[in-house]
Structure 1
Amino acid sequence: MPDNTNDTVPAISPESLAQIKIFQQGEVTEAEIYRRIAARTKDEKNKAALLRIAQEEAFHAERWRRYTGEDMKPERGKVMLHTIMARVLGFTFAVKLMENGEGNAQDKYEQLAVEVPEAMEIRADEIEHEEALLEMLDEERLSYVGSMVLGMNDAMVEMTGTLAGLTLAMQNTRLIALSGLITGIAATLSMASSEYLSTKSEGRPDALKSASYTGVAYLITVALLILPYLLFDEAHYLWALGTMIVIVLLILVAFNYYLSVAQGLPFKKRFGQMAGISLGVAALSFVIGIIVKQFLGVDI
């Protein structure tokens, strides 16, 4: 990294100076965020990559300081938010979400470059070095995204269909919740066992961990989908069904957004596919529930 600290700083407009202060503040804050996340990262390779990015951010902040002449402190709220996000959702998601926000500043860099040509040099340096370092990150939980997708997607399809069918067949939220819970727990054990046997047959040493991710994702999804049937009283089964459908959509939005940030996968396409399958199965099962109820003449 070149050292330009002794270069003569040209006179610039108040507007450009204000933008530089924003950039400097951002670099100072992000450098601290990377240092905080690195301090809690056990894997030495990931820690080294995060610390190198922190150094890059600090170096860019110093280049901006030549123009402002101000020493800035990190924004505590933003540092705390991203540190907590890294603990809960993983450091890969936290840092890529932060860097995606930086990507929206391209126009501002170009405007600033009219007065400060160095701006585009700093921008190019960020893209070249920081993106390369981000690609070096290897978080364990992202290695099991396939297992989580398998568990969550299978639970979505099976449980939305099952609960929708039971809703019209039983018309009682407590009976639906009971039946759904028994079905969901049995399906969780079945899915986790199948994932274990599948990965074990491939000779993978992490078969148990992969099965655990699948089972946990399945069970959490089951619990969330059954929840409306426990909250509404016995007669409001259609309200419970509608709430369950809303929860399905919210889960799909949240999970696909997470994947779009952490792994750079397309959000709209994946969301559309998963929502179409889950809701399509639910609608078909709902109709089957009506037909079966009428055909068997069962009135619970």
Structure 2
Amino acid sequence: MQFSVSPDEVIEYYRDELTDAEIYKALANVEKDPRLKEELIKLSNYETQHAKFWSEVARAMNLDVSNIKPSKFMVSYSVVIRRLLGLGFLVKLRESAEVEAIRRYGEAVRRRALGPLTDRLREILLDEVAHEEVFREVGSRFEGLIENIRDAMYGMSDGLVEVLAAVAGLAPVVVNPILITLAGLIVGAAGTLSMAVGAYMSTKAQQDIRETKLSKLDIELENLDVEDRSRRVKNALVSMGLNEGEAQEVASMISTDLNVSKKITAAGEIGYLEEALESPGRSALYTGIFYLIGALLVIAPFPLLGHLIGNVYSLFISIILVAIAQGISGLITAISGSGKVMRTIALNIALSLGAAGATYALGTAAHTLFGLSIT
């Protein structure tokens, strides 16, 4: 048989399926919910069958996969994350990997990369899509929490970057670490208020726009029959972020009521619409508080250690703390958006340190060229 997949790809697919089978088996062993435990066992069995399929492909290509083993690290890592942070967090963490597998299998199916075996690969692709549905409920329960965490992480990230940039620029010029601390606190306080007000106004504007749309929708639907009303409600829901299937389901349930806006809002509160879960006050609180936490994390080494080790070494400690905090922030924001975790973490750290490096260079240049020094 002629296949248009490389030997390396086949081995990689085989190893990934073996690893996923072991991950779901290990998760089933620690799961206390009987229903989820049963689903995890089923998923493990599915992945085992998928691995057998790729072993057949390997044999057809004269590849020896007998020595290929699942990744013990990924299995242990998944169990640790499950125990420490819960299944919802782990589901979000694995989501990007599942999406990538679906994309790669879908591409192989479209170009019929496995010849006569492509139809079997299509069945595996459908199984992978079904994995997303198994944990939909778990993931949706996690969404409300992740929204608050995301606001917090964005706020903290801004505090880390802005205040680190400020103290990095001052460190070569200001001799007294207490003065750097005071300057950092002023920047942090101003940034906290600015970020909190900005988060409140942004979320409130989104909420007002949504409510205006819903009010207009109520007026528009008064003179439509049930069928046209259902179609109009569906279109409104799709424009607010639902997929076609969910929008049709919700529209069928609520379109007989003329006061549709309240029904749509209720649908959002049980998980249909992300916008309905956002609160301007809560968004402002999380953003502001965690901006201040990020600022204090940057400032702390200067009053605590500045007189002992000097401003430059204190700045070095601040940079290490920022790198750690930005790594955690990048992890959370990547998971909440189902993005690429390592790339997001690296980008967060690089941007933070880049801003600090630029302002430190400016401060050093001012100190060297103009002899500026504040004691």
After TM superposition, the score normalised by the length of structure 2 is 0.50
Decide which of 54, 59, 68 is 2:40's aligned counterpart.
Answer: 54
Alpha-carbon distance in structure 2 between the residues aligned to 1:176 and 1:55 = 57
**Percent of matched pairs sharing the same residue:** 20
Letter in 1 for 2:350: A
- Distance 1:29-1:188 versus aligned 2 partners, 3 A rule: same
What is the CA deviation profile of residues 225-247 of structure 1, one whole-angstrom value per residue up to 9, with x for unaligned ones? 22332245445211111232333
Alpha-carbon distance in structure 2 between the residues aligned to 1:178 and 1:89 = 41
Alpha-carbon distance in structure 2 between the residues aligned to 1:28 and 1:245 = 39
Decide which of 156, 162, 170 is 2:160's aligned counterpart.
Answer: 156
Q: Does 1:284 align with 2:359?
A: yes
- 1:1-300 equivalences under 5 Å are 27=21, 30-31=24-25, 33=27, 39=33, 53-57=39-43, 59-60=45-46, 81-87=80-86, 90-96=89-95, 124=125, 126-134=127-135, 137-138=139-140, 139-144=143-148, 147-148=151-152, 150-201=154-205, 202-203=207-208, 206-229=279-302, 230-266=304-340, 267-268=342-343, 271-272=346-347, 275-276=350-351, 279-280=354-355, 282-284=357-359, 286-288=361-363, 291=366, 299-300=374-375
Alpha-carbon distance in structure 2 between the residues aligned to 1:98 and 1:160 = 33
What is the CA deviation profile of residues 252-299 of structure 1, one whole-angstrom value per residue up to 9, with x for unaligned ones? 344334444553324537844773465235523652476389869654
Letter in 1 for 2:80: L
What is the CA deviation profile of residues 173-206 of structure 1, one whole-angstrom value per residue up to 9, with x for unaligned ones? 3442343235324422432233123322443761
- Distance 1:156-1:88 versus aligned 2 partners, 3 A rule: farther
Aligned residues: 263
Aligned to 1:6: none
Alpha-carbon distance in structure 1 between the residues aligned to 2:32 and 2:196 = 33
Task: Please tell me whether the aligned partners of residues 151 and 287 of structure 2 are also in contact (alpha carbons under 8 angstroms).
Answer: yes
Task: Please tell me whether the aligned partners of residues 37 and 91 of structure 1 are also in contact (alpha carbons under 8 angstroms).
Answer: no
Larger mean CA deviation between 25-34 and 258-267 belongs to 25-34
Letter in 2 for 1:54: L
Q: Which runs of 5+ in 2 are unaligned?
A: 1-13, 51-71, 106-119, 209-275
Larger mean CA deviation between 55-64 and 189-198 belongs to 55-64
- Distance 1:132-1:244 versus aligned 2 partners, 3 A rule: same
Larger mean CA deviation between 178-187 and 55-64 belongs to 55-64
Task: Please tell me whether the aligned partners of residues 85 and 94 of structure 1 are also in contact (alpha carbons under 8 angstroms).
Answer: no
Letter in 2 for 1:200: K
Task: Please tell me whether the aligned partners of residues 92 and 335 of structure 2 are also in contact (alpha carbons under 8 angstroms).
Answer: yes
What is the CA deviation profile of residues 47-91 of structure 1, one whole-angstrom value per residue up to 9, with x for unaligned ones? 98x567425325448979xxxxxxxxxx99767513234249934
Alpha-carbon distance in structure 1 between the residues aligned to 2:81 and 2:356 = 38
Alpha-carbon distance in structure 1 between the residues aligned to 2:316 and 2:48 = 54
Q: Which runs of 5+ in 1 are unaligned?
A: 1-19, 40-46, 65-74, 107-118
- Distance 1:173-1:90 versus aligned 2 partners, 3 A rule: farther
Indicate the structure whose relative CO is greater, using CA pairs within 8 Å and at least 6 residues apart: 2
After TM superposition, the score normalised by the length of structure 1 is 0.60
Following superposition, the deviation at residue 210 of structure 1 comes to 1.4
- Distance 1:62-1:98 versus aligned 2 partners, 3 A rule: same
Alpha-carbon distance in structure 2 between the residues aligned to 1:34 and 1:209 = 36
Larger mean CA deviation between 281-290 and 215-224 belongs to 281-290
Task: Please tell me whether the aligned partners of residues 159 and 180 of structure 1 are also in contact (alpha carbons under 8 angstroms).
Answer: yes
RMSD: 5.2
Letter in 1 for 2:354: L
Letter in 2 for 1:199: T
